Chains A and B, each alone.
Chain A
Amino acid sequence: MKKFLALVMTLAMVLAIGAGCGGGGDTQQGGTQTGDKVVKVGIFEPASGENGAGGKQEVLGIRYANSLQPTVNIGGEEYTVELVEVDNQSDTTKAVTAAQSLASSGVSVVLGSYGSGVSIAAGDTFKTAQIPAIGISCTNPQVTQGNEYYFRVCFLDPFQGTVMANFAKDEMKADTAFVITQLGDDYSSGLGAYFKQAFTDLGGTVLEAQFQTGETDFNAILTNALNSDADVIFAPSSIQTAPLLIQQARQMGITMPILAGDTWENESIINNAGQYATDVYLSTFFDENDTSNPAAADFVTGFKAWLNADPQNLTNNGDSDGVAAVSALGFDAYNVALAALEAAGSTAGPDIQAALPGVTYDNGVTGSISFNENGDANKDMAYIKTINVETGAFDFLKTQSIAD
């Protein structure tokens, strides 16, 4: 009887493995119906973990772009674009595995990720596999540094840190800032350090505190902030951390403004923090109500309609049809990748990598995109937004650029 049971279980496992592979095969064939040739574009994004909510919004932007532009002309032939999605789980160790699975599935170019830590961790994998990667909202300088295969379509943290420091100094009239960062997170500690540098250069004082990854209790740190003479809190951190920190601060009676970076532009933070999310300011890449760019206006209308057409999309967007900056960036990154494929006239990684620095994409929703010698987008404008507790949305405050 036992032997029989063991046999049945082994059989079940073999079948399960077969089913798993079969499932993979199905998705690979999914896009092949319209054309004979297929080019694979990898999507390297978190769908779970502390930045899962942001990753999903970026993927939505990419999928929408793919629905508008399902094919690309490479070397005179029409190729169907097939999206290969992996979940890097917002985790630097899982990110490498996810990147390897993309490499082995034969993608020509990779889009992503949300979050700098995972992009830095996977950078070497893409470089070794000679697959060019286009970072979407990973803002830490180290993502592209020394890696000729990593590009990105967003601005960088030294810029963002300076923008927020200027904002704190000029608009909030702050002299002392309390900077809270996450230990071991490249994005958080990097942005915190750039903010500190810029704020000190402006003549301000910076107090610092760190917390561990996965921490839920910030009362000890916040009590110290309350006990200090800080005028403002700067807390660049993950989507998961934000509502906990905001709520605990307000419950403790901290009334000073809380500032953060691009990660905080996510509806789930408003959903989770609720009434406590007062006086929260953040910088981001895009504003849906900005009508100066016709491409952006088209994108916002089309994207909203697309979101509302499928309840699953709305859920992934945090039960809202607000257009997140990262969705717009994802949309742009996809189109930049197509432009690079066309320019390269090939689906081979090294060819695309050689073509990318020469690509200029003028119809970008988040502005014109071209790359500098590091592979970073030439961008010099940030949108500062604040949370509106009554409407449960992000209100645009001002654009800020710095002359350097």
Chain B
Amino acid sequence: MDNLTYYIQQLLTGLTVGGQYALIAIGYTMVYGILRLINFAHGDIFMAAGFFMVYMSATMPLYVSLPLTLLLTVILGVAVERIAYKPLRQAPRMSIMISAIGVSYLLQNFATYYTGGLPRPYPKIPLIGDVIVIGNVTTSWITILTPILTLALVIGLVMLIKYTKVGMAMRAVSRDFETAQLMGIKINNVISMTFVIGSFLAAVASVLFFSKYPTVTPTIGAMPGLKAFVAAVFGGIGSVPGAVVGAFVIGICENIIKAMGYTTFSDAFTFVLLILVLIFKPTGLFGEKSTEKV
């Protein structure tokens, strides 16, 4: 393997990992933008999407199970908001956050109980898991598809936020919760919409993630969830493009560190980055001023 091929292979891996983090990070950043809440259960929604697909595809063909998985994940995300966050809307922010941690553990333990704690094989989706050879680089379709699909979804989302009525409502709510409410914006619908989008993207991320790493376990959401959270903070929490850029930076950097043989420090790097950002630039790369903030 020559040097160029080697670097391309490593970069591709980094981009894929970054793409997966990005899709999860958007969920964090959007919820934070609107509710000022760090939704700790988001990583577990991602995990639940994996299990939905596992159980669904056991009995149904792919063209039914895939959309159904996306739908169920969205329902779960909205249900979590309705049951665990909405009753606490007037409570101190800390209460909601603790509620979020509770939901996170609930989902993990329920999954452990239901699945018996064994790793489950993720169904194979035809085509995207296949191996392709480009020049000297051997990789799978999913590796190439992930960053492209991520970017397409993000562009779609930014358009939605910028040019649609519900997007405008989201921007208004993220600016000023109370005033937006006074102006007649149906705050509950906007919040639900945020969870719909966040959960949908988490479900897409889970399809991409588990097609590449096809083992679903109850705690699998924890690490990608944390990394995505760091990515959201790094990019400036509340900013969608920021979260995406942050996710790609983290994905690629982690991979470079691993490739250099310093695996010991790859996770440490991510969290040191979090601390440094919080100390020196708490607003992240794309600070508070960004108009795409949701």
Contact = CB atoms under 8 A, between A and B. Distances in A.
Contacts of A221: 258, 263
Contact of B10 (A49, A87, A223, A253): A223
A152 interface: no
Contacts of B267: 212
B112 to A, nearest CB: 5
A38 to B, nearest CB: 28
Interface string A241-268: 0011001100111000000000000001
A271 interface: yes
Centre residue among B117, B118, B219, B220 by max chain A CB count within 10 A: B118
B183 interface: no
B138 A243 contact: no
B255 A219 contact: yes
Contact of B263 (A47, A53, A212): A212
Contact of B258 (A48, A56, A220, A243): A220
A227 B214 contact: no
Given A216-B220, A219-B13, A274-B124, A224 B261 contact: yes
B13 A48 contact: no
Interface size class of A (residues with CB under 8 A): 35 or more
A372 interface: no
Contacts of A318: 118
B213 A268 contact: no
A223 B118 CA distance: 29
A183 B264 CA distance: 7
A227 B6 CA distance: 7
Interface string A222-250: 01101100000000000110011001100
Nearest to A53: B118
Nearest to A271: B121
Contact of B213 (A209, A216, A253): A216
Nearest to B129: A251
Contact of A251 (B10, B112, B139, B215): B139
Contact of B118 (A183, A247, A268): A268
Interface string B218-231: 11101100000000
A239 B119 contact: yes
A302 interface: no
Contacts of B214: 243-244, 247, 272
B99 to A, nearest CB: 15
A318 B218 CA distance: 17
Contacts of A239: 119
Centre residue among B117, B138, B264 by max chain A CB count within 10 A: B117
A47 B213 CA distance: 22
A56 B217 CA distance: 15
A190 B261 CA distance: 19
B263 A272 contact: no
Interface in A182-218: 183, 209-212, 214, 216-217
Interface in B1-53: 1, 6, 9-10, 13, 17
A52 B216 CA distance: 13
B220 A183 contact: no
A220 to B, nearest CB: 4
Contact of A49 (B117, B131, B261, B264): B117
A316 interface: yes
A214 B263 contact: no
Interface in B166-216: 209, 212-215
A209 B262 CA distance: 9
B283 interface: no
A48 B121 contact: no
A368 interface: no
Given A214-B223, A219-B13, A316-B116, A272 B215 contact: yes
A223 B124 contact: no
A253 B259 contact: no
B213 A48 contact: no
Centre residue among B13, B121, B129, B215 by max chain A CB count within 10 A: B215
B65 interface: no
Contact of A253 (B121, B138, B212): B138
A245 to B, nearest CB: 10
A122 B117 CA distance: 21
A93 interface: no
Nearest to B112: A48
Interface of B: 1, 6, 9-10, 13, 17, 112, 116-119, 121, 124, 129, 131, 133, 138-140, 209, 212-215, 217-220, 222-223, 255, 258-259, 261, 263-264, 266-267
17 contacts: A48-B112, A52-B119, A87-B117, A210-B264, A217-B213, A219-B255, A220-B258, A223-B259, A243-B215, A244-B213, A247-B214, A251-B129, A251-B138, A251-B139, A251-B140, A268-B119, A274-B124
A-B complex: 10 closest residue pairs judged by Cβ atoms: A48-B117, A253-B138, A220-B258, A219-B13, A216-B213, A52-B117, A272-B121, A220-B259, A227-B1, A210-B263
Given A214-B219, A251-B140, A272-B119, 10 more contacts: A47-B117, A49-B219, A52-B116, A56-B118, A183-B264, A210-B264, A219-B10, A223-B13, A243-B121, A268-B119
